[in-house]
Structure 1
Amino acid sequence: MENQKLSEKVSARIRQEILDGRYKAGDKIPAEPELMKTYEVGRSSIREAIKSLAMAGILKVQQGLGTFVNELQPEENMTQRLRVADFDEINVVRKLLEEEIVKLAVENHTATELSEIEKHLNLRKQAIINEDRQACTNADISFHMAIAHASHNKVLAELYQNFSYTIRAFFTKREAQGIGHFAISHHLHEDLFRAIKARRKKQAQYIIREILGNNY
């Protein structure tokens, strides 16, 4: 979880530096050793950050040449909109996105992907027991992200990845509420996992609507 958290911070900083003009379209970004020094993280965090930015179309990795900023970045416009959008508007789109993701995950998940979903579900439960709010947030987002990957639709997964930054910011604003809303909804997350595992599509979609209807 810690590596994932660090990679997300690196990813966000690289995005911002592109927006600020430090790296322009077509520019080659520094090699891994330099990035490790700049962001003071390990190689695995750098690689995970680069991978996520490449999946989002922001960076382009060329074997033997290096990593470059993509020429076209329309996705950044969406990122900017998400930063200032009203959460109620965000949640409407998130509901549509997650219902489709869950439906596809029921149909397409593999045993490996199911294990990944279950892993983050267990981490979510442990974080609740430990009353670790940050770990709850990380595990919750990773749980839903694992379901997105299990959909086998890369576009939906990338869209959800963008939404995850906004969702994380929303959870941060609710920090004063502690872990209560995570604990209250955990049984629904367990039910969702079981429905996906059993390939019960209608039940899984009903449960995700319950989760999102209460902003869990």
Structure 2
Amino acid sequence: MPAQVRRTPLADQAAELLLERIRAGEWELGQKLPGESTLGPQLGVGRSTLREAIRQLAGRGVLSSRQGAGVFVAALDAPEHWDDVLWKADITAVLEVRTALETEAAALAAQRRTPAQLRAIRSALETRRRTRSGIDEHVAADIDFHRSVVVAAGNPVLIEIFDSMTPRVRAAMVEMLRIRRDFGGDADHRAHADIVDAVAEKDGAAAAASARTHLDGLKEALA
């Protein structure tokens, strides 16, 4: 069936209209919004649609509903979507965030990893070492290795952040390696093996230091 034009839900339209009015300064930070009987007719929507619009903006941190008190302005604009932030940022900024995340993840992995997780990390390292014939395949193996360390850290938030950054990191790494045309050498493998050795020895400080050294090297290479 051919693609058809989709009508934007009324609640989405109402949420955008409310956000535009907040951005324009109609209400100050912390100010209470008018009641449903006033706001609904202003926007041309019913109460259920208005409530859904308010829920949307509350989920984005713009509005705050207080039981028995009403709806208040919690922020004067909606934060940009995380994916948009990542793709607009240059890769150096992304690598700096990755360094902060993976340094802590390596330290936690050294403290918390299970024997099964250590085997998974070693297996991912060996796969990465063997995968040198193609850039896309090598980058995929590299990301799998780093993710195995993050998983061993035992923190679901770290995993979620790492996964959300992966498409941006993958694209940047592929582009960088296509320019350099040199990847997967002995020194590069040793840098990753140092992380594994520290995790195996349960040396959190050494694991963090090895992760930082490796990622700082990537940033220098990009520069």
Measured against the shorter chain, the TM-score band is 0.5 to 0.7
Matched position secondary structure for 1:182: coil
Higher Cα radius of gyration: 2
1:90 is matched with 94
1:108 aligns with one of 97, 108, 112: 112
Aligned with 1:186 (options 161, 176, 189): 189
Question: Is 1:214 the equivalent of 2:209?
Answer: no
Match of 1:54 in 2: none
Counting aligned pairs with the same residue, the percent is 25
CA distance in 2, matches of 1:160, 1:116: 17
- TM-aligned CA deviation for residue 116 of structure 1: 1.1
C-alpha separation in 2, matches of 1:104 and 1:134: 29
Q: Tell me the TM-score normalised to structure 2 length.
A: 0.60
* One-letter amino acid of the structure 2 residue matched with residue 158 of structure 1: E
> Structure 1 length as normaliser, TM-score?
0.62
**2:135–2:174 Cα contact (<8 Å) kept:** no
Letter in 1 for 2:98: R
- The alpha carbon displacement at 1:73 in A equals 7.7
Q: Where does residue 81 of structure 1 map in the other structure?
A: 85
Query: Over aligned residue pairs, what C-alpha RMSD do you find?
Result: 2.6
Letter in 2 for 1:196: V
Deviation of the 1:157 alpha carbon: 0.8
Shift in Å, 1:126:
0.6
Q: Which amino acid aligns with 1:133?
A: I
Q: How many residues are paired up? A: 148
Shift of 1:145: 0.5
- Give deviations 1:90-120, integer Å, cap 9, x for gaps: 1111111111111110111111111111111
1:131-157 Cα shifts (integer Å, max 9, x gaps): 222221111000000111111000011
Aligned counterpart for 1:153 among listed residues 152, 155, 168? 155
Runs (5+) with no aligned partner, structure 1: 1-20, 25-70
Moved runs in structure 1, 4+ residues, more than 6 A?
73-76
Alignment-derived partner of residue 12 in structure 2: none
**Match for residue 200 of structure 1 among 191, 200, 203:** 203
Q: Does 1:121 align with 2:136?
A: no
Give the AA of the match of 1:92.
E
In structure 2, relative to structure 1, the CA distance for the partners of 1:73 and 1:135 (3 Å cut) is farther
Distance 2:152 2:109 in 1: 5
Unpaired runs of 5+ residues, structure 2, are 1-5, 10-55, 62-78
